[in-house]
């Protein structure tokens, strides 16, 4: 399981970094997709850790996912998808 978690974290960090670059370049669709992948990976990591009774570590990854969701909301806002952006941001709060 440790290797799976490391792989997921590595992928999540890579996607998050790509998303930040895409966002800065104004490529909001690409940023949205990359943030989405990062969000999924960190949620999966949290789920695995909670299943193994390691809730404190799981919470850490849920916080990363929550932060990523706020960035997803900003991408949606930049794309003019205001209702979706508001829903994402509200759910992340």
Count how many domains the chain has: 1
pLDDT average, residue stretch 2-17: 92
pLDDT for the residue 33: 98
Tracing tokens 């900003």 back to the chain, one arrives at: 74
pLDDT for the residue 91: 84
Query: 93 pLDDT exceeds 80?
Result: no
Residue 71: domain span: 2-92
In terms of pLDDT, which residue wins out, 4 or 59?
59
Model pLDDT for residues 22-79, shown as the tens digit of each residue? 999 999 999 999 999 999 999 999 999 999 998 888 999 999 999 999 999 999 999 9
pLDDT for the residue 51: 92
Q: What is the pTM of this model?
A: 0.91
Sequence-ordered alpha helix ranges (H) in 1-93? 2-24, 28-51, 55-78, 82-92
pLDDT average, residue stretch 5-23: 95
CATH number for the domain including 75?
A: 1.20.58
């Amino acid at each position: 399981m440790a290797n799976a978690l490391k792989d997921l974290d590595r992928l999540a960090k890579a996607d998050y970094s790509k998303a930040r670059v895409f966002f800065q370049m104004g490529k909001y669709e690409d940023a949205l997709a990359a943030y989405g992948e990062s969000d999924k990976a960190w949620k999966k990591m949290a789920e695995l850790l909670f299943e193994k009774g390691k809730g404190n570590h799981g919470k850490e990854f849920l916080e990363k996912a929550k932060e990523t969701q706020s960035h997803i909301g900003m991408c949606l806002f930049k794309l003019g998808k205001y209702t979706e952006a508001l829903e994402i941001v509200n759910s992340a709060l």
